Amino acid sequence: MRGVILAGVWGAGKTTVHGSVLRRLAAANCQYVIAIPQAATITTHTYAPGDAAAHLSAILQWLENLTGHLEDADARFAASTLPTHRFAPQWTPTALLEGLTFDLPVYRLPTPLDRVRDLEARLADVGLTVALLRVPDDLVEEQCVRSTRAHRGPRWARYLESFGANDEARATHVRRVQDMLVEHAEHSPLPVKILDTGDRAWGRLADDVTAVVKG
């Protein structure tokens, strides 16, 4: 198996890059793609009824099931003759995932680190890499606060208010979360590639992530 977990704070560009990489894989005739956006991982559960503990339990069970599915896909492919087939690049199981365990601290869920690390070790074993989109500190307020407010609409604006009393305070909160994600990545069993988003060259970033996906 091969693949990427896209990680980053709000406004880092995960969703934009996810869609662009998916189109690149389709153009390359990659036929076995497991593509899961953030909306289907953390967001779905946090918008469901229940408190943080219920959300965390549901997310961890979902991640356990997903990890098992990826392990099964990897094992079946490896046990076949397909890895040496001339169409192996098109038929190799390929995962393009957004968020997963890296989003847990972003959403302030009480993350059980041992279980998260176990899941990440299993995801590393099947061949996944984290692509962490990092926003330069001096661009966080513009890119992650003001720009996302303008593009995501009033519901996001209301959620953004919980980050602080003004945009400067909200940007400070986002920087703290980003530092936490980078620290999480540094201690993760998953291989990690940190990509700077300062120039907002989304096409180049999508090319970089696609290259990571293809190994």
| Average pLDDT, rounded, for the chain | 90
* 99 within domain boundaries: yes
* This prediction's pTM: 0.90
The whole-angstrom separation of Cα 38 and Cα 7 is 9
pLDDT confidence of residue 43: 72
Structure tokens at 169: 């305070």
pLDDT confidence of residue 57: 84
* 162 within domain boundaries: no
- Give the SS3 label for residue 23: helix
pLDDT confidence of residue 105: 67
pLDDT in tens, 171-209: 999 999 999 889 988 889 999 999 999 998 999 999 999
* 28 within domain boundaries: yes
Amino acid at 39: A
* 154 within domain boundaries: no
In CATH, what number is assigned to the domain containing residue 110? 3.40.50
* 202 within domain boundaries: yes
pLDDT confidence of residue 133: 95
Domain that holds residue 115: 2-135+192-214
Alpha carbon distances (Å) from 122 to 15, 65, 93, 125: 24, 12, 16, 5
Structure tokens at 142: 């513009």
Structure tokens at 127: 């061949």
The whole-angstrom separation of Cα 141 and Cα 75 is 44
Alpha carbon distances (Å) from 60 to 66, 90, 101: 10, 31, 9
Reported in sequence order, the residue ranges of 62-212 that DSSP labels E, i.e. its strands, are 94-98, 128-134, 192-196
Q: Which residue has the tokens 């469901």?
A: 48
* 16 within domain boundaries: yes
Residue pair 148/211 in contact (Cβ under 8 Å)? The answer is: no
- Give the SS3 label for residue 106: coil
Structure tokens at 75: 């094992």
* 161 within domain boundaries: no
| Counted domains in the chain | 1
Note down pLDDT in tens along the chain; length 215 residues.
999 999 999 899 999 999 999 999 999 999 999 999 887 777 777 677 778 788 788 888 888 999 999 999 999 999 999 999 999 989 999 999 998 777 776 777 777 778 889 999 999 999 999 999 999 999 999 999 999 898 888 888 888 899 999 999 999 999 999 998 899 888 899 999 999 999 989 999 999 999 999 87
* Count of C-beta atoms within a 10 Å radius of residue 26: 12
The whole-angstrom separation of Cα 35 and Cα 179 is 27
Q: What strands lie across the sheet with 33-36, from one edge to the other?
A: 33-36, 94-98, 2-7, 128-134, 192-196
* 22 within domain boundaries: yes
Residue pair 93/1 in contact (Cβ under 8 Å)? The answer is: yes
Phi, psi of 127 (to 5 degrees): 105, 15
173 Cβ contact list (under 8 Å, min separation 6): 163, 164
DSSP bridge pairs for 106: none
158 Cβ contact list (under 8 Å, min separation 6): none
